Amino acid sequence: MRQSTFLAALLAPATLFLGVFFLGPLLIIAVFSLLTPGLYGGVEWSFYHQNYGRIFGWADGIMEIYEPVYLQILLRSLGFAALTVGLCLVICYPVAFWVARLPPRARLFCLFLVTLPFFSSLIVRLYAWLLILKPSGLLNQTLLATGLIQTPLEILYTQSAVVLGLVYVMVPFMFLPLYSAIDNLDRSMVEASMDLGANRVQTFTKVVLPQTLPGIIGGAVIVFIPSVGNFIVPDVLGGAKGLMVGNLVEQQFLSARNWPFGAALAMIVMGVVLATLLYASARARSAAHA
Amino acid sequence: MKVYALALGLMASAASIQAAGAETLALYNWGDYINPEILAGFTAETGIEVTLDTYSSNEEMLAKIQAGATGYDIVFPSVHMNDIMLKLGLLEKTDINLSPGFAAIDPANLRSKEDPDSAYCLPYAWGTVGIFYNEKVTGPITGWADYFAAAEKGAKVTLLDDMREVVAVGLIMTGKSVNSTDPADLQGAVDYLLSQKSKVAAFTYDSMSMLTSGDIGAAHFFVGGNVFFTQTPDVKYVIPVEGATMYQENICVLKTAPNKAAAKAFMEFYLRPEIAALNVAQQFNGTANVPARDLVPDFIKQNPTINVPAETLTRLQIFEDLGAGLKLYDRAWNTIRTAQ
């Protein structure tokens, strides 16, 4: 009994903090998404379901018009986020294996390097990418000088630049959970598998992959969620042409002054993310039981 | 107990210091939109400490003030936002129009519909939104037709990442008002812009450095961009022949301002022609202060795109508050940016 009181006391600050600063704002967004937009921002306290109607197709067609564009933008954002997850995984998986086999000091140094980008502001780093990718930038100058290309590559202000930027931002978030899963890999099982006659592919799919799956799922979730809502990368590197749902939400709260519609969009993004999370955690649980 | 008493004493003396001296003034302005020498000059003369926070759009500022941000004394809304803030009751009446220096203000710059006599706000600065172009890359450009033609021939061009400014280009090119709330007008503007979209490299505010480095040939930008091109004769600025938008910001005192007297003192300070001219010399834009127009540096006075002649003024339009019509622009902007 004393122990559980002690535990409750320890958990109280975190619970209180999350309750006030996470659940509170979430509740505000949920309520706002069902209210009438104020003419100059803010909300009017009357129920209004058309914020969702504009997105899903039951708008009245007079004050609010249903347009498929919002679902298109959402789908595009999900696609970009999924692509980002895939690319981050392909980049990080082999690297995490390599790092896990380094001597302890080198390993620590590598982990330090992975976290190094967090020491400077994201905006500054994205503008650095702008300088690298632009036609007269570092990348094109180098490629031109080596004769690999004759005319500058058009990367900046394309969707490729957006995905590149997202992958760059998200790689550390994929690497760290992968690394911890791979570091904990039971190597004697790998040896046993090889000794018992499994080939490399079988060993990988039957032994290595299942053991590292929780790390893969963890990394995928942590990369996917912020990628869906990112609006800075498409703004800076995409030239605001490839609109993502994050840009749309930002626009509703600022230039369009339509807070309830922005809140409705945010709720839908949150719903999608929540569904992804539930699916991922179900997968992780079944993987753990396998 | 002793410690407690000491702490109380310290607090009391700190409070009295603040009450006695150190008057302060908190400005909330657009980024890079005031000559720092003006703030230094104001502090030197009055002893009032000035703090400056910045925002990057009218809506960002409005959202913060509406959300209850307090502590700011003065904001610099564009005219249509000035009107909105008056309708929302966020601004304080200052009677700046009764101040002796007010005679210097050009009546043409009293543009607020809600405050036609300037009883609340003081015209701060104005300018045009046009096209910067590198003549070596694009050839001569007189307006939007030339701009899109240059893009067709391969020059990279950018538009602003701004809903109203971009939709305005479509409205101007189809001969409509930039404040139209007729859905047919908006549809026409969207159709025009979609037909041109493939030629536009990006919607961005980062265009001035890209123009300097030669990565783009032309950019839609504010007249103030001239600051970057005083030493580059190839880069020129033009107010499009087809028509263009203009902006004007006003100095307004918030109803919640903690230092209203200091705010009024700052407005009166800014009424002086030499102070208004000091801002123009650093900002490269227009002033409502008539005598100040003679005090600005010669190269600005002689530049017809900065010191705009009367016949050019006739093709400029200024944004007005659209009320519920804003939704049409939001939808248009989403369509323009999403189309492949």
| List of chain B residues whose C-beta atoms are within 8 Å of the C-beta of residue A247 | 337
Which residue in the set B203, B206, B326 is minimally distant from A256, CB to CB? B326
Does residue B8 sit within a domain? no
The residue behind tokens 């696609």 is A79
The residue behind tokens 């309750």 is A19
* Range in A145-154, B174-183, B240-249 with the lowest mean pLDDT: A145-154
Indicate the residue type of B152: E
Host domain of residue B301 = 23-124+249-308
Helix B273-283 and helix B260-271: axis angle, to 10°?
Answer: 80
Query: How many residue contacts between A and B have a Cβ separation below 8 Å?
Result: 91
Residue A147: what are its φ and ψ, rounded to 5°? 80, 10
Does pLDDT of B5 surpass 90? no
Burial class (CB in 10 A: 0-12, 13-18, 19+), B325: middle
pLDDT digits (tens, 9 = 90+) for B80-109: 999 999 999 999 999 999 999 999 999 999
* A40 with B331: Cβ contact below 8 A: no
**Could you tell me which of B198, B147, B328, B178 has the C-alpha nearest to residue B246?**
B178
Give me B260's structure tokens.
């209203």
| List of chain B residues whose C-beta atoms are within 8 Å of the C-beta of residue A67 | 331, 334-335
Indicate the DSSP class of residue B258: S
Strands B244-253 and B24-30: unpaired
Residue A39 distance to chain B (closest CA, Å)? 6
Q: What angle do CA B122, B125, B127 make, to 5 degrees?
A: 145
Indicate the residue type of A11: L
| Whole-number percent of chain A with pLDDT over 70 | 98
* B337 with A72: Cβ contact below 8 A: no
State the pLDDT confidence band at A42, using cuts at 50, 70 and 90.
Answer: confident
Which residue in the set B206, B324, B330 is minimally distant from A130, CB to CB? B206
Does residue B232 sit within a domain? yes
* A157 with B335: Cβ contact below 8 A: no
Does residue B7 sit within a domain? no
Give the residue extent of every domain in chain A.
69-289
The domain that holds B255 is classified in CATH as 3.40.190.10
Residue B55: what are its φ and ψ, rounded to 5°? -135, 170
User: Quick one: average pLDDT of A220-234?
Assistant: 93
Write the CA distances from B220 to B153, B191, B225, integer angstroms.
Answer: 18, 19, 10
Residue A289's pLDDT is 67
Residue B13's pLDDT is 43
Residue B187 distance to chain A (closest CA, Å)? 14
The residue behind tokens 């003081």 is B122
Residue B96's pLDDT is 97
Let me know: does A178 contact A216? Beta carbons within 8 Å: yes
The residue behind tokens 């931002």 is A169
- CA torsion, points A236, A237, A241, A245, in degrees to nearest 10? -70
Does residue B5 sit within a domain? no
Given the cut 0.95, state whether the ipTM is greater than it.
no
Does pLDDT of A290 surpass 70? no
Shared domain check, B176 and B150? yes
Can you tell me whether residue A149 is helix, strand or coil? coil
Residue A277's pLDDT is 84
Does pLDDT of A61 surpass 50? yes
Give me B312's structure tokens.
């050019």
State the pLDDT confidence band at A41, using cuts at 50, 70 and 90.
Answer: confident
Q: What total of structural domains would you count in chain B?
A: 2
- Spatial separation of the C-alpha atoms in residues B193 and B170, rounded to whole Å: 6
Does pLDDT of B6 surpass 50? no
Shared domain check, B275 and B133? no
Compare all CA atoms of chain A with the CA of B329 and give the residue at the minimum distance: A256
Does pLDDT of A44 surpass 50? yes
Residue B15's pLDDT is 42
Q: What is the mean pLDDT of chain A?
A: 91
Let me know: does B74 contact B84? Beta carbons within 8 Å: no
Does residue B1 sit within a domain? no
Instruction: Write out the DSSP string of B63-119.
Output: HHHHTT--S--EE--BHHHHHHHHHTT-B----GGGSGGGGGB-GGG---SS-TT-S
Output b/e per residue, B44-72; b: 16+ Cβ within 10 A.
Answer: eeeebebeeeebeebbebbbebbeeeeeb
CATH, domain A69-289, list 1.10.3720.10, 1.20.1740.10, 3.30.70.3270, 3.30.70.260: 1.10.3720.10
